[in-house]
Amino acid sequence: MQDIIIVGGGIIGVMIARKLSQYDLNVLLIEKENDVGNVTSMANSAIIHSGYDPIPGTLKAKLNVLGNKQFDLICKQLDVDFKRIGTITVCLDENDVFKLEALKNRASENNVEAFLLSKEELLKLEPNLSDNVVKGLFCPSGGIIDPFNLCVHCMENACENGVKLHLNEEVINISKDGELFSVVTNKDSYKCKIVINAAGYNADKIASFIEKIDFDIIPRKGEYFVLDHFDDSFLNHVIFTLPTNKGKGVLISKTTSNNYIIGPSSEICLKDDYSCDKLTLDSVKISASKMFKNIPFNQTIRTFAGIRATPSTHDFIIEPAKSDKYFINVAGIESPGLVSSPAIADYVIDNLISPILVLKKKKNYNPNVRKYVHFLKLSLDEQNELIKKDKDFSKIICNCEKVTLGEVKDVLNRYVKPQTIKAIKKRTRAGFGKCQSGFCQANVLDILANYYHVSPLEILYDKNGSNIIYSLTKNNGDKND
């Protein structure tokens, strides 16, 4: 029997799992995908927003600001790349300056430091801003993060502290049996005292297992360009257009790996529709080019889409089911969900769990994840030292991103094991470069097949059915082939 079952291993589920792991509890996280953070939490802008934009008084505003403050410590503990480079929201029309001023007032109400800057002041910070820019709002506490390893390292640390993780397992029903819930998956069934529904844009479906719900989750897609590393000084901050009623607007930003990201669009879509289309991407291109000069779209190495879980209530839905305080919905977590995630976890534990369950701190809780190896970030002496200890660090398996075999073996030797080529890519960056896995995919495929003792035919790129190799061209041992 579990004390708590968390449904969903996106950033919300894993952040709650990690914060719960400091208590003496049996916690199980169930995730339908073959990795944590493999849905919305990996396909977003990866901005640690300052909190100038959400409407004052909402949960979004409160939890965004509280969450933002936690990231320096969390990223140190979890060994995740994070840089507070600041954000600038630009106004491109004199007639819209009042909107920027309204944002500045909102920032003040939300207790967020924000400065209105003139065109001249902006150009000193960002020389490549377009001539159209008339004014901007600078928020120094905004930042950029590695969203992939944030999820993975967070879950890893939760597991190091005793949380159990079941991947590849889909929750298909939940019912109440006396005092306990019965959580049924496609593989098994489990009893628990408390269910936390952190199922992203499927949270409406999970919530309706227990009662008729009074909210909807509307999937809304955002499409992006990713550019290769080309010039570190091209851009220094995250640059946004003015927000609209469809979201925060288009942005251009560096990523923590010194790529550039441009997007997102915002259009209602079907759940699980991750397609990108030229028309939408062209509109992103036009919006971005209005605020920034000479964006080298010819350096595009990838386009991708993420899906927002837009709530019909216009705010995060973090509350117990109407009929059962032991069933907790954490639903409609659209942007700024990533930055709010640590504060959402605190809110759930302090306000919704602690009144119904005795929480006793563990003596041996360790908030620091076992350090990961980042070979490229080491000095030459440190690299040589590492190679002396383990020759696998001298073998480069991804030429573009200079990832070593040693690093891949390190991530395989963890609780949250990568099972696919994409899972290795998210953890180590093998495949993130200009050739987009052209060279390293075969290497990674071999490493995975050897590690799991399976045929290379069984290795997936990502989801079920994404096998890389469909059949062998020669049958082993058949001399006539």
Ligand X SMILES: Cc1cc2nc3c(=O)[nH]c(=O)nc-3n(C[C@H](O)[C@H](O)[C@H](O)COP(=O)(O)OP(=O)(O)OC[C@H]3O[C@@H](n4cnc5c(N)ncnc54)[C@H](O)[C@@H]3O)c2cc1C
Residues labelled as active-site residues: 49
Give the one residue of 114, 339, 444, 459 binding ligand X; rule: CB under 6 A. Answer: 339
Residue 332 as a binder of ligand X (CB under 6 A): the answer is no
Residue 41 as a binder of ligand X (CB under 6 A): the answer is yes
> Least distance in Å: CB of 33 to ligand X?
4
Residue 117 as a binder of ligand X (CB under 6 A): the answer is no
Quick check: bond before 243 cis, omega within 30?
no
If the CB atoms of residues 306 and 406 are measured against ligand X, the closer one turns out to be: 306
Residue 219 as a binder of ligand X (CB under 6 A): the answer is no
If the CB atoms of residues 251 and 373 are measured against ligand X, the closer one turns out to be: 251
CA 439 – CA 447 distance, rounded (Å): 14
Residue 45 as a binder of ligand X (CB under 6 A): the answer is yes
Residue 170 as a binder of ligand X (CB under 6 A): the answer is yes
Angle between helices 440-452 and 405-412 (to 10 degrees): 40
Which neighbouring-strand residues pair with 82? 145
If the CB atoms of residues 284 and 333 are measured against ligand X, the closer one turns out to be: 333
Tell me the residue number closest to ligand X, measured at CB: 337
CA 473 – CA 481 distance, rounded (Å): 9
Residue 32 as a binder of ligand X (CB under 6 A): the answer is yes
Applying CB under 6 A, the span of 30-38, 94-102, 371-379, 387-395 interacting with ligand X comes to: 30-38
Applying CB under 6 A, the span of 9-17, 226-234, 405-413, 444-452 interacting with ligand X comes to: 9-17
x/- letters, 286..325, toward ligand X (CB under 6 A): --------------------xxx-----------------
On whether the CB atoms of residues 63 and 316 are closer than 8 A, the answer is yes
Residue 430 as a binder of ligand X (CB under 6 A): the answer is no
Site for ligand X in 391-420 (CB under 6 A): none
Give the one residue of 336, 342, 406, 431 binding ligand X; rule: CB under 6 A. Answer: 336
On whether the CB atoms of residues 155 and 416 are closer than 8 A, the answer is yes
Query: Count of residues binding ligand X (CB under 6 A)?
Result: 39
Which neighbouring-strand residues pair with 306? 222
Residue 423 as a binder of ligand X (CB under 6 A): the answer is no
CA 75 – CA 333 distance, rounded (Å): 21
Site for ligand X in 173-202 (CB under 6 A): 198-200, 202
Residue 217 as a binder of ligand X (CB under 6 A): the answer is no
On whether the CB atoms of residues 263 and 251 are closer than 8 A, the answer is yes
E-strand stretches of 147-299: 164-166, 171-177, 180-185, 189-197, 217-227, 238-240, 251-254, 260-263, 267-268
Residue 171 as a binder of ligand X (CB under 6 A): the answer is yes
Residue 254 as a binder of ligand X (CB under 6 A): the answer is no
- Closest by alpha carbon to 171, among 208, 146, 134? 208
- Closest by alpha carbon to 42, among 255, 293, 330? 255
> Least distance in Å: CB of 59 to ligand X?
12
> Least distance in Å: CB of 81 to ligand X?
15
Positive or negative, the CA dihedral 446, 450, 452, 456 is positive
On whether the CB atoms of residues 338 and 60 are closer than 8 A, the answer is no
If the CB atoms of residues 104 and 220 are measured against ligand X, the closer one turns out to be: 220
CA 198 – CA 12 distance, rounded (Å): 6
If the CB atoms of residues 37 and 406 are measured against ligand X, the closer one turns out to be: 37
> Least distance in Å: CB of 392 to ligand X?
31
- Closest by alpha carbon to 135, among 124, 147, 121, 145? 121
Residue 47 as a binder of ligand X (CB under 6 A): the answer is yes
Residue 160 as a binder of ligand X (CB under 6 A): the answer is no
CA 220 – CA 306 distance, rounded (Å): 8
CA distances 363 to 160, 281, 293, Å, are 14, 52, 55
Contact residues toward ligand X (CB under 6 A) are 7-13, 30-33, 38-41, 44-47, 49, 170-171, 198-200, 202, 206, 222, 264, 306-308, 333-339
